[in-house]
Amino acid sequence: MLKKIALAAGLFSATALASNAVQAEVKVGLLGGISGPIAAMAPPMLDSAQLAIQQVNEQGGILGGQTLEAVVGDSACNPQNGVDSATKLVNIEQVAGLIGPHCSGAVLAVANSVTVPAGITLITPSGTSPEITGLDDKGQVFRTVPSDDFQGRSLARTLLDLGTKKVAVAYLNNDYGSGLANAFKVEFEANGGELAGYSAHEEGKASYRSNLAELSRGGADTLVIFDYGDGTGLTILRQALENGFFTNFVGGDGMKSDAIIRELGADNLTTFIASSPVGEKSNSLEIFNEAYKAVGGNPDAIFVSNSYDAAFLMALALEKAGGDSSKVSAAMSAVSDGQGEAVLPGEWTKAVELIAAGKDIDYKGASGDLNFDNAGDVPGSYGLFKVEGDAFALQQALN
């Protein structure tokens, strides 16, 4: 018994020491889909967010020289794990703001049941569901990636322009897949296109041949897949190709995954195209690309610029809010509203000086200017990518 008391006392004093030591740190949560269907996309995204945090610390730190620390959590790309991890980050780690989660379903769940009730601001680099726009979030949910409402609609218009009037749609039954598919469906049908099949599927099944057979019965020769290329999307595309259900394949941004080229082979993907957000060429993007390459990252990986911007914006907002987490959401809008002196990626010292002098700043992100609207959304532009060699290459811009 005495031993146990001694052990408890030891642990107690250890935690007391630890909490003294971390007082000079400001914590933010970095929540990503480390395991689960986007596990292959997540590491570069987390790395680029860490780059932003590293730059902040190298250039004098945050809030008068404190260290900014990112506490990483795993949302596994699903609502349950997202809420678990976010609860831990908010209640135990006491983070001042949350960067992530990555997947739309997790963003909606985390916002509704964790961050909004706790008054913590959330900024996601890749939660693209149109549902996020309509969240009752008291202005505390932001994203550095445009809503799929834009993507679905512009993809629909572009396909019609290319002469594809009849398609079948297979989408993953989650907030990402259904949001994107619905936006696509509305625009496609409104502009005279015909949906010969439109059906959701669950992830993780071994066979989708019966689903595909049902979809192909409508007579379309183009299949539009809104799914993840590292997950079920790969299985669907493989089985559709192998059995010749369709000849042409179109994917959303989730399908623009290297896993597809690696596992199916570029030769088999001549009729596959995928839409994806494209960073407009800008000074900011080049600065980011250089900095990210310098730490060994691949700037062409998906959502890395968005992820960097999310982390940098969170740091800027925290600095402007003076570390008060209840003021972060107002500060977030203020640091990127298109007004004030321009701050580019990596220009942390300059931003801190401007904020200290009471001047307005406007962050010009690597993924775009990122001027938030009232719902915390940003406008965006998309490109249609085809497989060329062993990589995706831009075919055309989406209108």
Partner 1 sequence: MPFMEFVNFYLMPGIVLGSIYALGAVGITLVFGILRFAHLAHGDLATLGAFAALGVVTIFGVSPWVALPAAMVFCAFMAIGIDKLFYDYLSERPKIIVVMSSLGIALMLRAIVQVVWGVDTETYTRGIVRPDDYWGIRIRDREIYTIIAMFVIVGVLWAFLQKTKWGKAMRAMSDNPDLALLSGVDNRKITMLTWGIVGMLCAASGFFLGINTELKPLMGWTMLLPMFAAAILGGVGRVEGAVIGGLIVGIAEETSVLFIPGEYKAAMAFAILLLILLVRPTGLLKGKVL
Residue placing its CB nearer to partner 1 in the complex, 13 or 243? 243
How far, in Å, CA of 296 to CA of 292, rounded?
7
Alpha-carbon distance values, 70 to 139, 148, 289 (Å): 23, 28, 21
Q: Which of 1, 5, 206, 357 binds partner 1 (CB under 8 A)?
A: 206
> Is the Cβ–Cβ distance between 87 and 102 less than 8 Å?
no
Residue 290 in the binding site for partner 1 (CB under 8 A): no
Which one of 165, 166, 209, 386 is in contact with partner 1 (CB under 8 A)? 209
Query: Buried b / exposed e across 194-203, counting CB within 10 Å, b at 16+?
Result: ebbbbeebeb
Q: How far is the CB of 276 from partner 1 (least distance, A)?
A: 19
Window contacting partner 1 (CB under 8 A); options: 4-12, 98-106, 202-210, 341-349: 202-210
Shortest Å distance, C-beta 306 to partner 1: 21
Backbone angles phi, psi at 161, to 5 degrees: -60, -35
Least distance CB 203 / partner 1 (angstroms): 8
Q: Which residues pair with 200 in a beta bridge?
A: 171
Footprint of partner 1 on residues 242-271 (CB under 8 A)? 242-244, 259, 262-265, 267-268
CB of 200 to partner 1, least distance (A): 4
| Number of Cβ atoms within 10 Å of the Cβ of 66 | 16
Dihedral-angle region of residue 151 (phi above 0 means left; psi in -120 to 50 means alpha; beta otherwise): alpha
* Cis preceding-peptide flag for 101 (omega within 30 of 0): yes
Count CA atoms within 13 Å of residue 198 on its CB side. 15
Distance separating alpha carbons of residues 93 and 387, to the nearest angstrom: 43
The stretches of the chain forming alpha helices (DSSP H) are 2-21, 42-58, 79-87, 104-110, 116-118, 148-161, 175-190, 209-216, 232-243, 258-264, 283-294, 304-320, 328-335, 348-356
* Pick 176 or 363: Cβ nearer partner 1: 176
> Residue 186 in 3-state DSSP?
helix
| Least distance in angstroms from the C-beta of 46 to partner 1 | 13
Nearest CB to partner 1, comparing residues 68 and 269: 269
Which residue among 173, 191, 248, 381 contacts partner 1 (CB under 8 A)? 173
Q: List binders of partner 1 among 89-148 (CB under 8 A).
A: none
Q: Give the shortest CB-70-to-partner 1 separation in angstroms.
A: 20
* Choice from 89, 212, 291, 316 touching partner 1 (CB under 8 A): 212
- Residue closer to partner 1, measured from CB, 19 or 207: 207
Q: Applying CB under 8 A, does 72 fall inside the site for partner 1? A: no
Minimum CB separation from partner 1 for residue 163, in Å? 27
- Asked if 199 interacts with partner 1 (CB under 8 A), we say yes
CA distance 263 to 40: 13
Residue number, 154 or 239, with CB nearest to partner 1: 239
The span from the CA of 119 to the CA of 140, in Å, is 8
The count of chain residues that interact with partner 1, using the rule CB under 8 A, is 38
Contacts of 133 (CB under 8 A, 6+ apart): 147, 149, 375, 377
342 binds partner 1 (CB under 8 A): no
- For partner 1, which is the closer residue by CB, 135 or 240? 240
Token pair listed for 261: 């080229």
| CB 269, min distance to partner 1, A | 10
Q: Contact with partner 1 (CB under 8 A): which of 204, 296, 358, 389?
A: 204
Which residue's entry shows tokens 């004030």?
Answer: 340
Among 207, 294, 358, 374, binds partner 1 (CB under 8 A): 207
Q: Interface with partner 1 includes 35 (CB under 8 A)? A: yes
Q: Could you tell me the smallest distance in angstroms from the CB atom of residue 399 to partner 1?
A: 31
Binding to partner 1 in span 213-242, by CB under 8 A: 213-214, 217, 230-231, 234-235, 238, 241-242
Residue numbers of the site for partner 1 (CB under 8 A)?
34-36, 39-40, 173, 199-207, 209-214, 217, 230-231, 234-235, 238, 241-244, 259, 262-265, 267-268
